[in-house]
Amino acid sequence: MPYKLNNTVASILSVLLIPINTAYQQLSDTPIVSEIQPKDFTIKTVTSVPLLRLVDYLSNQTQTKEMKVRNFSISSDSLYTHIYFAWKEANQYMSPIALRNNGKIDEIVGANLVLPVNILKDMYAPGLIADILDFAINCYTWAKPIGNQKSFSSPTGYISILRGADNAKINQELIKETTKYFLISSQTDAYHFVWENSSPEQAKFMASLKYTQIICGDKQTKTNPCNWEQLGMDKSFAKQQCLYRTINSD
């Protein structure tokens, strides 16, 4: 069961987090792709901006646009603190952000938070967030690859647990960069999960990156542990949630 704290503690933490931000360790300010790009944003590492700006952005994005958050009654303080601690555990090579320069500062226009799946059970998760993580852990356990393995050790699973983007193009670029660095930095047989909608366009895009669609919410099977309707999500939204997976086979 994910770690729970009461809402009072969550509220206090959200206030106390500001000075903690100064201790956030940076990898580098170097972009993880060339900044000479035919688009109005650049992709960089998560450490290119202060941690709390990332937390603010992803908290706002997920509350307004992400159905796996928006469809549930999660307090802003609880979500903010959950995202803060999640970013502290992020794989910084696989978790890109998108920035757009507005003439004064670099504005965050996208972010993808990637974690090892085995961390989920120990995450800070107040209230309903704990139920969501329990559901997700069960889903990922069911969806992990089985069969022949090239490595002797148990393969590591990764999940793009939260992702926000100002538009579809940025969203796709974030997935591309995460996939690129997953394949570069992970071990053989490691796997990566991504949630995406069930549109034909997005399915084609994911297939181009060698992702397999494992299951969607509308899959009529005897058992579908990845159907968000189990948690009370509206059926019309739950059926659009598809889990994709790619494997590092090199």
Q: Which residues contact 149 (CB under 8 A, 6 or more apart)?
A: 155, 189
pLDDT for position 105: 85
* CATH numeric code, 7-247: 3.40.630.30
Q: What is the pLDDT of residue 153?
A: 67
Contact 151, 70 (CB under 8 A): no
Confirm if 113 and 162 have CB atoms less than 8 A apart. yes
pLDDT tens string 124-135: 999 899 999 999
Rounded CA-CA distance 243/193 in Å is 7
Tokens of 8: 């009072």
Q: Give me the tens of pLDDT residue by residue for the chain, a chain 250 residues long.
A: 565 444 444 443 443 343 334 333 444 444 444 344 457 899 999 889 999 999 999 999 988 888 778 778 888 899 999 999 999 999 999 999 999 988 888 899 999 999 999 999 999 999 899 999 999 999 999 999 986 556 556 889 999 999 999 999 999 999 999 999 999 999 999 999 999 998 999 999 999 999 999 999 887 677 789 999 999 898 889 999 999 999 999 7
Q: For residue 8, with 0-12 CB atoms within 10 Å meaning exposed, 13-18 middle and 19 or more buried, which class applies?
A: exposed
What does the alpha-carbon distance between residue 44 and residue 107 come to, in Å, rounded to a whole number?
12
The size of the chain, in residues, is: 250
Provide φ and ψ at 109, rounded to 5°.
-125, 5
Report yes or no: 1 and 134 within 8 Å, Cβ to Cβ: yes
Q: What are the domain boundaries of the chain?
A: 7-247
Residue 98 corresponds to which tokens in the numbers above?
């998108």
pLDDT computed for residue 206 by the predictor: 97
Maximum CA pair distance of the chain? 55
Residue 1: the pLDDT is 57
Q: Which residues sit opposite 212 in a β-bridge?
A: 245
pLDDT one-digit tens code per residue, 160-175: 999 999 999 999 999 9
Model pLDDT, residue 115: 95
DSSP lists the bridge partners of residue 241 as: 197
Residue 38's pLDDT is what? Answer: 52
Residue 103 DSSP code: S
Q: Nearest-CA neighbor of 138 among 227, 28, 233, 60?
A: 227
Contacts of 249 by beta carbon, 8 Å cutoff, 6+ apart: 150, 188, 189
SS3 of residue 186 by DSSP:
coil
pLDDT for res 3? 52
